[in-house]
Amino acid sequence: MTWQQRIDAALDARRAADALRVRTTVANGAGRFLTRGQQRYANFSSNDYLGLSQHPDVVRAWQQGAEQYGVGSGGSGHVSGYTTAHQALEDHLAGWLGYDRALLFISGFAANQALIAALTGKDDRIVADRLSHASLLEAASHSPAQLRRFAHNDAAQLAALLDKPCEGQQLVVTEGIFSMDGDSAPLGELHAAAQRKASWLLVDDAHGIGVTGPEGRGTTASLGVKPELLVVTFGKGVGVSGAAVLCSASVADYLLQFARHLIYSTSMPPAQAVALLAAFNVIRSDDGDARRQRLASLIGQFRAGVSGLPLQITASQSAIQPLIVGENDRALQMANTLRQQGIWVTAIRPPTVPVGTARLRLTLTAAHQPADITALLEALHAASE
């Protein structure tokens, strides 16, 4: 089989399974409304949970940062790309989240890949929740360590796997709020199981930071758990992009020596770091509290209304409210029907989710209004008939 034949066969297989991914060009995809061409849709596909991507303080901070630092960092943080803006953001995050150090990464995917690749060796074992994000599972499968998966949120099975003999160290991997189901991990039970075997816990709290917990400090803070390794990303509740790893001082020093994604990547623009610091100031303010309360109210309204429809929902209390449809073609058909009614939702299909669990991944944000939720529920009622 030639290269081209291999590529064509893979694409044909995706098309036959109604699983081919395509991108859609939009004029604006992060706010209450999404504009495509000349049509405006109510946007229920954005991860901008608090509506901070368009917050005037955050926008102004990025502009001021660009005026001071320019639009690029100029290099890796190990060369010339680590500025006072980066340091200020790292110091803020470490103090706010209760860790010795924070290290910035260009994306959450890069942070997870870097952590797992730098920490694990051939004698080690990674024990990951089966529904962990692709960035975690891919990094684990590519590492020299043994990978074992435990049933979703099953602390008992995790404990049983940790009890099996292991020559090296064991790393437990999970998410705070799961990106496709929207439910939360039992972090207290998972951490206790890890600690009984002197293992470390890595929590990716991409969908919790800014949105849950006191001051928006995330899922770990809301549950009173301090994992040894905490990854927070900035493209969801924080409204920008990038990520940080929170850890001890010695782990931070180790990652600065051995995390290749950190060493060999151009650091984020300093202006972005300035904007992120402004976003975290909003998150910690009365405005941030009001946005979280408004989002919680909208989530409650949606779950009360959708419970009467012939649709399968998950146990999610987060901004992620998936509706499990089952087959790929039905998920695509429902998404298309909703778009015809001015509602923008995304059909999520395998391999992103398990076969037979294709879904509409609805996301609610503080930018929505109660009338938007009412319109969504009415459209779902029509689409599910």
Which sequence positions are flagged as catalytic? 47, 133, 175, 179, 204, 207, 236
Q: Are 175 and 205 in contact (CB under 8 A)?
A: yes
Q: Is 380 helix (H, G, I), strand (E, B) or coil?
A: helix
Q: Are 182 and 176 in contact (CB under 8 A)?
A: no
Per DSSP (E only), the strands in the chain are 33-36, 39-43, 101-105, 125-129, 146-150, 170-175, 200-204, 229-233, 243-247, 312-313, 320-326, 343-344, 346-348, 358-363
Long-range contacts of 291-300, Cβ-Cβ distance < 8 Å, separation of 24 or more: 291/50, 291/51, 291/366, 292/50, 292/211, 292/212, 292/216, 292/366, 294/366, 295/49, 295/50, 295/211, 295/319, 295/364, 295/365, 295/366, 297/370, 298/364, 298/366, 298/368, 298/370, 298/373, 299/364
Q: Give the pairing of strands 346-348 and 312-313.
A: unpaired
**Dihedral angle, C-alpha 84, 87, 92, 94, nearest 10 °:** -170
CA geometry: angle at 253 spanning 251 and 255, to 5°? Answer: 70
